[in-house]
Amino acid sequence: MQNHLSYSDYLIRILTASVYAVAVETPLEPARGLSARIGNKVLLKREDLQPVFSFKIRGAYNKMAKLPKEALACGVIAASAGNHAQGVALSAQKLGCRAVIVMPETTPQIKIDAVKNRGAQVVLKGVSYNDAYDYAAELAAKEGLTYIAPFDDPDVIAGQGTVGMEIVRQHSGNIDAVFVPIGGGGLAAGVAAFIKLVRPEIKVIGVQTDDSCGMKKSVEKGEVVELKDVGLFSDGTAVKVVGSETFRLCRDLLDGIITVDTDAVCGAIKDIFDDTRSITEPAGALALAGLKAYAARNGLKERILIAVTSGANMNFHRLRHVSERSELGEGNEAIFAVSIPEQPGSFLKFINTLGNRSITEFNYRYGDDHTAHIFVGIQTAGAGDNEAISAQLTAAGLPNTDLSDNEIAKIHTRYMVGGRSHKVADERVISFEFPERPGALARFLNHVKTDWNITLFHYRNHGADYGRILVGMAVPPQDSEAFAEFLEQLGYVYEDETDNAAYKLFLG
- Cα–Cα distance, 90 to 108 (Å, whole number): 18
Question: By percentage, how much of the chain surpasses pLDDT 90?
Answer: 55
- Structural domain boundaries, residue 266: 7-54+154-327
Of the listed ranges 124-133, 150-159, 253-262, the least confidently predicted one is 124-133
- 376: CATH: 3.40.1020.10
Is 0.85 surpassed by the pTM of this model? no
* SS3 (DSSP) at 424: coil
Instruction: Please report whether residue 441 resides in a domain.
Output: yes
Q: Does any domain span residue 479?
A: yes
Cα–Cα dist 208/234, whole Å? 9
pLDDT in tens, 272-282: 999 999 999 99
Same domain, 264 and 357: no
Are 311 and 182 found together in one domain? yes
Same domain, 84 and 231: no
More confident site: 130 or 349: 349
Residue 481 belongs to a domain: yes
How would residue 1 be classed by pLDDT, with cut points 50, 70 and 90? very low
> Is residue 1 a part of any domain in this protein?
no
Q: What's the pLDDT at 465?
A: 64
Task: Specify whether 203 is located in the same domain as 305.
Answer: yes
Q: Which residues are catalytic?
A: 56, 310
Residues 405 and 464 placed together within one structural domain of the fold: yes
Confirm whether 188 is domain-assigned.
Answer: yes
pLDDT tens digits, residue range 405-445? Answer: 888 788 777 777 777 777 788 989 888 887 766 666 777 77
2 belongs to a structural domain: no
Q: Do 380 and 480 sit in the same domain of this protein?
A: yes
Q: Is the pLDDT of residue 258 over 90?
A: yes
pLDDT at 491: 78
pLDDT digits (tens, 9 = 90+) for 444-486: 777 776 778 888 888 877 666 677 888 888 899 999 998 888 8
Give yes or no: residues 482 and 385 share one domain.
yes
In the structure, what pLDDT confidence band is assigned to residue 131 with cuts at 50, 70 and 90? Answer: confident
**In the predicted model, is pLDDT for residue 147 greater than 90?**
yes
pLDDT digits (tens, 9 = 90+) for 97-114: 999 999 888 777 877 888
Give the end of a domain, one of 90, 122, 147: 147
User: Which of 272, 300, 327 represents a domain boundary (last residue)?
Assistant: 327
Q: Which of these, 44, 78, 242, 55, lies nearest to 150 by C-alpha position?
A: 78
- What's the distance, CA 145 to chain centroid? 35
Q: Is residue 78 part of a domain?
A: yes
Mean pLDDT of the chain: 89
Altogether, the residues listed in the chain come to a count of: 508
Residue 222 has pLDDT above 70, yes or no: yes
Q: Are residues 46 and 161 in the same domain?
A: yes
Number of domains in the chain: 3
pLDDT digits (tens, 9 = 90+) for 164-179: 999 999 999 999 999 9
Over residues 13-26, mean pLDDT? 96
Residues 434 and 476 in one domain: yes
Q: Can you give the CATH number for the domain in which 93 is found?
A: 3.40.50.1100
Say yes or no: 273 and 337 in one domain.
no
Hey, what long-range contacts does 471-476 have (CB within 8 A, 24 or more apart)? 471/429, 471/430, 471/431, 471/432, 472/366, 472/424, 472/427, 472/428, 472/429, 472/430, 472/507, 473/427, 473/428, 473/430, 474/424, 474/425, 474/426, 474/427, 474/428, 475/426, 475/427, 475/428, 476/426
Task: Look at strands 76-79 and 41-46 and give their pairing.
Answer: unpaired
Tell me the C-alpha distance between 473 and 455, whole Å.
5
pLDDT tens digits for range 69-79: 999 999 999 98
User: 369 versus 94: which is more confidently predicted?
Assistant: 94
Q: What is the pLDDT of residues 380-399, one digit of tens each?
A: 877 678 898 999 899 988 89
Domain presence at residue 494 = yes
- Domain's final residue, options 117, 147, 177: 147
Q: Mean pLDDT throughout 229-258?
A: 92
Regarding whether 190 and 48 lie in a shared domain, the answer is yes
pLDDT for 2 equals 46
Whole-number pLDDT of residue 3: 53
Are residues 106 and 16 located together in one domain of the fold? no
pLDDT of 295 above 60? yes
Which amino acid appears at position 446 of this protein?
Answer: N
